[in-house]
A and B are shown apart, each in its own frame.
Chain A
Amino acid sequence: MADLRTKLAGISSPNPFWLASAPPTNTGYQVQRAFEAGWGGAVWKTLGDPIINTSSRFAAVHFNGQRVAGFNNIELITDRPLEVNLKEIYETKKRFPNHAVVVSLMVEPKREKWHEIVKKVEAVGVDGLELNFGCPHGMAERGMGSASGQQPDLVEMQTMWAKEAAQTPVIVKLTPNITDITVVARHAVMGGADAISLINTINSLAGVDIHTWNTVPHVGGKGAHGGYCGPAVKPIALSMVAECAKDPKVSVPISGIGGISSWQDTVEFMLMGATNVQICTAAMHHGFRIVEEMIDGLNNYLDDKGIAAASDLVGQTVPKYSTWGELDLNYQVVARIDTETCINCNKCHIACEDTSHQCIDRLTDANGKAYLKVREEDCVGCNLCAIVCPVDGVIDMVEIQSRHAPMTWNDRQKALARMNSESSETEAV
């Protein structure tokens, strides 16, 4: 049994699976049920002045018959009075002293407001605070959430105000609705953040009902943008986590959020620099019990790999995440089709023929049996055929020996610059 415990900026948790600040963490009843189910921590749904919500609120994107490829919401922060939340936070922490209870906060960008709420919340005994600078709808119109999260100086200043009063670690939650997330991450760090969490939801409109022409979701025939999450956003979240993880100026731990729905996703985020993960959509889709499969899968993975602790995963892939300019232009792979296991659906052929480099031939063998073959000399190693192939393992991307030594774009530019300067020096002489 591997050690699944994690510690994010001093906040201990029995495992890396936290519930993100969202509908599942609205009440003490829910968070306590989650802890009973096995979740290691929870970020309490954002406290602030209680708001009024709309009906309806959620929408999802289904893909080819699969439910909830993506999830969209226009729900806002807590809809309950601060005192009620504080009482339930106190009770929850008392019942589950070893679980991480972090509370998400969002107030007007005023120093005294931050001081006031930080003190009140810490007084009931929490493990940490998360500043919500990410929510893209509803609160942003009031100058909060992503409205402040999109302004690096505001993030820095508010973080500082929170830190002035805080005794517990402060996590700053970042919005992805910005050109370069590392800028805001750096300002959070400058403001004194102990950790960052990302990503919050992405501006979205889940759909348009093609029969009523209403937006999805709609509130009495009118719609507004919401926040997008769920499996579809995972690659976006992962890249933003990676960008922060490899940025030396973002020198604080990361709590990874965005489309994580399995133990495999969790491993990916941890390898890419997340100390732990926060999950919402998967729980909303399947209930809290989904964490049992995540814990079990992660545990077996670590045991199979001979890794003693989940924390050993953190950041292992970060050094491999570079820039395009550092990629070896002479590295080459080609597709190889195993005709024994190929089922002859011809999907690779038509994908290559119509949309890539026309190098998969449809041939017939001596017995009249159809088969597919890659003309390796024309294959650029794009992976498309292997991607569309419906059977795992039929198409392998095989590395072939390059005739040239490794060279990156950056190497090439340097070499060219050297040649140019040498030749101009020659000319000068």
Chain B
Amino acid sequence: MNDPTVPTRLAPEAFAKSFAETVPGLTRKAAMEESNRCLYCYDAPCIKACPTSINIPSFIKRIATDNMKGSAIAIMDANPVGASCARVCPTEELCEGACVLNDESDPIKIGLLQRYATDWAVESGQTLFKAGSPNGRKVAVIGGGPAGLSAARELARDGFAVVIYEAKSLAGGLDTYGIVSFRLPQSISLWEVDQVRKLGVEIRTGVKVGVDVTTEELLADYDAVILAAGMGNVSNLGIEGEQLEGVYDAIEYVEATKTDVPPYPIVGARVAVIGAGNTAIDAATCSARLGASNVKMIYRRTMDEMTAYDFEYEFAKQEGVEFSWLTAPKRIIGDESGRVTHLECVRMELSDAVGQDGRRIPAQVESSEFLLPVDAVILAIGQKRHQSLIDHLGLKHDRGVVLIEEETRRTSNPRIYAAGDIVFGNGKGEAMVVSAAEQGKQAAYAVSRHYSSNSFQANDSVAI
């Protein structure tokens, strides 16, 4: 007989159901109504608010005039991961936040319209773009996530021969592995990967640069390299008990749900998630949907300092996730079999001291330790840097953030360009999929510009 206190695995059917996309797409009628509501502003603020500058009034007018192919192309032309972004962009902070109708009525549902148009492209099986005529140059892209795919797509359209080196078994990066399925089904990201592949881009999966292929080989074989390796797994907390069974890395935890089989025995479990960023929220809502009996977010600061988007926070609350503000973990306690049983926490208060990021520094409240009985602890306190890869490439960096010249996206090695999370550091805005996509585009354009302006020079062509 099953011990009711021991968490079990969700049945596959229940898992499939609870991880299916939550937000329904627009019906044709809703899409027609909404697209016709768009004012088609001139020099529209939504375009300026989009990091990839999608011509939003144009793609919406094309939906309204039954030109779905034109609409999908307008989106995907500006943003090679536009189908994923339709689902994961914080639209109220970007395009929809800038919509002129915000105060007058309701902003246009740009994200849902973008999804409507890109869903059409996915379902119709269209190949939206063509590769440029070969220019004889070769570029290696390290990392097949949003930044890498964008760079590869734009380079291929410019006639470069492109090879993507992807460490995982599938390309797509965060969109394929890191976003909860009930927000972004993996099939959408894989469609975007496929669109890039159809331009002749070769994607070598399961290949780790620095391990399976060396920098020297890349620099010898390619005219340029674009580094878009993203970020690593979650950093260690540095507290006792992190090795216990039932302690998870939030990135791996979410990634494990991107399959057909429920990954962890969470049904009936009491789950503590440490952190309050978007990844922490994802881990918490995944836990709720995996059947946890209670999910608590443990955060040492308050709601005001939390980095998760408002809509993520709202969603988590709707999913029944609880928030323990001003609470920090001290150690994770296990039983004799090595299974986690408790999380020891301490109460915090915000001191008057302000940190470098402008946020007040939390301090422990003396003798306020308490034990939280838990069956699982998920760590989500920021991601690790790809330090060894960066070292292997020999690039200048600031604590794992690759340094680049903003204009050219060149690293300290002039033949290596960088884009996406690998160059994302504090004070550089938000690490968004859409920003990574734009940076990938810009890196590709920098490479194209370099070779078109230097095409007459003999020394820019590296011997193969």
Which of A65, A66, A349, A390 interacts with B39 by CB under 8 Å?
A: A390
A347 to B64, CA, bound (A): 18
Measured between C-beta atoms, what is the minimum distance from A169 to chain B in Å?
A: 46
**B42 contacts A347, C-beta separation under 8 Å:** yes
**A345 contacts B36, C-beta separation under 8 Å:** no
**A344 contacts B104, C-beta separation under 8 Å:** no
**A64 contacts B41, C-beta separation under 8 Å:** no
Tally of contact residues, B, Cβ under 8 A: 16
A391 to B44, CA, bound (A): 16
A64 to B66, CA, bound (A): 11
A391 to B41, CA, bound (A): 13
- B101 located at the interface, meaning its Cβ lies under 8 Å from any Cβ of chain A in the complex: yes
Q: Is chain B's binding surface mostly helix, strand, loop or mixed?
A: loop
- B45 located at the interface, meaning its Cβ lies under 8 Å from any Cβ of chain A in the complex: yes
Report B-chain residues with C-beta under 8 Å of the C-beta of A27. Answer: none
Interface string of B30-43 (1 = CB under 8 A from A): 00110110011111
- B357 located at the interface, meaning its Cβ lies under 8 Å from any Cβ of chain A in the complex: no
**A391 contacts B32, C-beta separation under 8 Å:** no
Known: A64-B36, A350-B42. A343 touches B101 (CB 8 A): yes
Report B-chain residues with C-beta under 8 Å of the C-beta of A347. Answer: 39-42
Q: Is chain A's binding surface mostly helix, strand, loop or mixed?
A: loop
- A317 located at the interface, meaning its Cβ lies under 8 Å from any Cβ of chain B in the complex: no
- B304 located at the interface, meaning its Cβ lies under 8 Å from any Cβ of chain A in the complex: no
- A346 located at the interface, meaning its Cβ lies under 8 Å from any Cβ of chain B in the complex: yes
A357 to B36, CA, bound (A): 28
**A391 contacts B104, C-beta separation under 8 Å:** yes
Report B-chain residues with C-beta under 8 Å of the C-beta of A66. Answer: 36
**A65 contacts B33, C-beta separation under 8 Å:** yes
- B190 located at the interface, meaning its Cβ lies under 8 Å from any Cβ of chain A in the complex: no
Interface string of A322-355 (1 = CB under 8 A from B): 0000000000000000000001111101100000
**A346 contacts B41, C-beta separation under 8 Å:** yes
Measured between C-beta atoms, what is the minimum distance from B29 to chain A in Å?
A: 9
Report B-chain residues with C-beta under 8 Å of the C-beta of A64. Answer: 36, 64
- B49 located at the interface, meaning its Cβ lies under 8 Å from any Cβ of chain A in the complex: no
Report A-chain residues with C-beta under 8 Å of the C-beta of B41. Answer: 345-347
Interface string of B410-453 (1 = CB under 8 A from A): 00000000000000000000000000000000000000000000
A350 to B36, CA, bound (A): 19
A61 to B39, CA, bound (A): 21
- B100 located at the interface, meaning its Cβ lies under 8 Å from any Cβ of chain A in the complex: yes
A64 to B42, CA, bound (A): 18
**B100 contacts A343, C-beta separation under 8 Å:** yes
A411 to B103, CA, bound (A): 49
Report A-chain residues with C-beta under 8 Å of the C-beta of B32. Answer: 65
**A343 contacts B64, C-beta separation under 8 Å:** no
Interface string of B59-79 (1 = CB under 8 A from A): 000001000000000000000
Closest to B100 in A: A343
Interface string of B159-175 (1 = CB under 8 A from A): 00000000000000000
**A343 contacts B103, C-beta separation under 8 Å:** yes
Closest to A350 in B: B42
A136 to B44, CA, bound (A): 46
A346 to B46, CA, bound (A): 13
Closest to A341 in B: B104
Known: A64-B64, A65-B64. A346 touches B42 (CB 8 A): yes
A76 to B382, CA, bound (A): 75
Within 8 A of B (CB), among A21-73: 64-66
**B104 contacts A346, C-beta separation under 8 Å:** no
Measured between C-beta atoms, what is the minimum distance from B95 to chain A in Å?
A: 14
Closest to B101 in A: A343
Report A-chain residues with C-beta under 8 Å of the C-beta of B43. Answer: 346, 350, 362
**A344 contacts B64, C-beta separation under 8 Å:** no
Closest to A348 in B: B42
Measured between C-beta atoms, what is the minimum distance from B96 to chain A in Å?
A: 14
Interface string of B292-320 (1 = CB under 8 A from A): 00000000000000000000000000000
Interface string of B6-44 (1 = CB under 8 A from A): 000000000000000000000000001101100111111
**A345 contacts B100, C-beta separation under 8 Å:** yes
Residue from B32, B36, B39 whose CB has the most chain A CB atoms within 10 Å: B39
Report A-chain residues with C-beta under 8 Å of the C-beta of B103. Answer: 343
A35 to B36, CA, bound (A): 37
Report B-chain residues with C-beta under 8 Å of the C-beta of A362. Answer: 43
**B64 contacts A345, C-beta separation under 8 Å:** no
**A344 contacts B45, C-beta separation under 8 Å:** yes
Closest to A344 in B: B100
Closest to A351 in B: B42
**B104 contacts A343, C-beta separation under 8 Å:** yes
Report B-chain residues with C-beta under 8 Å of the C-beta of A65. Answer: 32-33, 35-36, 64
Interface string of A66-107 (1 = CB under 8 A from B): 100000000000000000000000000000000000000000
Report B-chain residues with C-beta under 8 Å of the C-beta of A391. Answer: 104
A343 to B46, CA, bound (A): 13
Known: A65-B64, A391-B104. A345 touches B33 (CB 8 A): no
Closest to A390 in B: B39
Measured between C-beta atoms, what is the minimum distance from B57 to chain A in Å?
A: 10
Measured between C-beta atoms, what is the minimum distance from A123 to chain B in Å?
A: 52
Report A-chain residues with C-beta under 8 Å of the C-beta of B100. Answer: 343-345
Report B-chain residues with C-beta under 8 Å of the C-beta of A390. Answer: 39, 104
A153 to B356, CA, bound (A): 94
A349 to B103, CA, bound (A): 21
A64 to B40, CA, bound (A): 12
Measured between C-beta atoms, what is the minimum distance from A23 to chain B in Å?
A: 27
Report B-chain residues with C-beta under 8 Å of the C-beta of A344. Answer: 45, 100
Report B-chain residues with C-beta under 8 Å of the C-beta of A345. Answer: 39, 41-42, 44, 100
A349 to B43, CA, bound (A): 10
A345 to B45, CA, bound (A): 8
Report B-chain residues with C-beta under 8 Å of the C-beta of A343. Answer: 100-101, 103-104
21 A-B residue pairs with CB within 8 Å: A64-B64, A65-B32, A65-B35, A65-B36, A343-B100, A343-B101, A343-B104, A344-B45, A344-B100, A345-B41, A345-B42, A345-B44, A345-B100, A346-B43, A346-B44, A347-B40, A347-B41, A349-B42, A390-B39, A390-B104, A391-B104
Q: Spell out A's residues near B (CB within 8 Å).
A: 64-66, 343-347, 349-350, 362, 390-391
Please list the 6 inter-chain residue pairs (A to B) with the smallest Cβ-Cβ separation, ordered nearest first. Answer: A65-B36, A350-B42, A346-B42, A345-B41, A343-B100, A64-B36
Apart from A64-B36, A345-B42, A391-B104, what are 8 other A-B pairs with CB-CB below 8 Å? A65-B33, A343-B100, A343-B101, A343-B104, A345-B44, A346-B43, A346-B44, A350-B43
